Amino acid sequence: MAKKSPDEVHPVKAFGWAASDPSGHLSPFSFSRRATGEEDVRFKVLYCGICHSDLHCIKNEWGFSTYPLLPGYICFTTYTPTRKSIYLIMVARERYIVRFPENMPLDAGAPLLCAGITVYSPMKYYGLSEPGMHIAVVGLGGLGHVAVKFAKAFGARVTVVSTSPKKEEEALKRLGADSFLVSTNMDQLKKEQFTLDGIIDTVSAVHPLLPLLGLLKANGKLILVGAPEKPLELPAFSVIMGRKTVAGSNIGGMKETQEMIDFAAKHNITADIEIIKADYLNTAMERLAKGDVRYRFVIDIANSVADIYRETTQRK
């Protein structure tokens, strides 16, 4: 049997935004996708969230990026523009499809497939979803603000820990946290020593773990979900005393992701978003690197492709 050519294996023309080097600058990029198979689902893409992992990857901050690189949430754009319909499509195995409940908005719900499951899964796995737990969320960003919402929905008492005193009002009055600590204020931290059942650490920059471990009760758990590009220092004695656990968590399986979406819909949990078009991607990445977003960028796919289609037809 003759070997299929690349065009036969990946016959669907596709388009996205890719980085060509560690500068991380994103530019239009054409590629191809495989055809729809018997166990596949083909679907329209209306909204697409941007994660801090995209930023790490396009700049090769984790050391394993290869170029050209289409970030995980931006390589979405297979499209079939016509005069009557302009939209994006993707193809996925049916076992990787998540059903959104009718009351879950697509734009503010999209980031939950990343940020939502990233914080939901460790809370469930490490026993922090039981009512009455006292949980701290370290970092009030894309992951952190969603973690606060899930923890409150689980019935936890929630403390937000941040380097920025300016986020106190946001944490307490708008997101519903019960208390707030400034991570550099040693007096505040000392008063709260040995009070926490668990900590969800969402920070993606290098930061000290010792002050956080001091907040945990005996048998308390510090769960890392942020991924700094450099190693963190872990003093052994601070873990040994009190039999504390330091662990990590990535995302979750499909069953748990569906469970998370259903739970979020039931409790009216969505991400706080800023909607952008694809021509704003590089500016969005620059702002994301500075923490200048509240709290997740979401790309309006349909309008982005409509703009591209208009530009393409005007050139012709």
What are the structure tokens assigned to 302, written together?
């349909």
Amino acid (1-letter code) at residue 285:
M
pLDDT band at 85 (very low <50, low <70, confident <90, very high): very low
Given a cut of 80, is residue 156 above it in pLDDT? Answer: yes
Q: What pLDDT is stored for residue 312 in this prediction?
A: 53
Q: Which of 79-83, 163-167, 186-190, 229-233 bottoms out in mean pLDDT, i.e. has the lowest?
A: 79-83
User: In the predicted model, is pLDDT for residue 315 greater than 90?
Assistant: no
Dist CA 65 CA 63 (whole Å): 6
- Predicted confidence at residue 86, as pLDDT, reads 42
pLDDT digits (tens, 9 = 90+) for 190-224: 999 999 999 999 999 999 999 999 999 999 999 99
Strand partners, 44: 89
Cα–Cα distance between 302 and 80 in angstroms, integer? 11
Calculate Rg over the CA atoms of the chain. 21
Instruction: Pick 272 or 279 by higher pLDDT.
Output: 272
- Per-residue pLDDT band at 75 (split at 50, 70, 90): very low
Q: Is residue 54 pLDDT above 50, yes or no?
A: yes
Q: What percent of the chain has pLDDT over 70?
A: 90
Give the amino acid at 226. G
Q: Is the whole-model pTM more than 0.85?
A: yes
**CB-based burial, 275-313: b 16+ in 10 Å, e otherwise:** ebbbebbeebbeebeebebebbbbbbbbebbeebeeeee
pLDDT tens-place string over residues 293-302: 999 999 998 7
* Phi, psi of 64, deg, nearest 5: -125, 15
- pLDDT, tens digit, 9 for 90 and up, residues 21-36: 999 999 888 877 778 8
Q: Which residues contact 64 (CB under 8 A, 6 or more apart)?
A: none
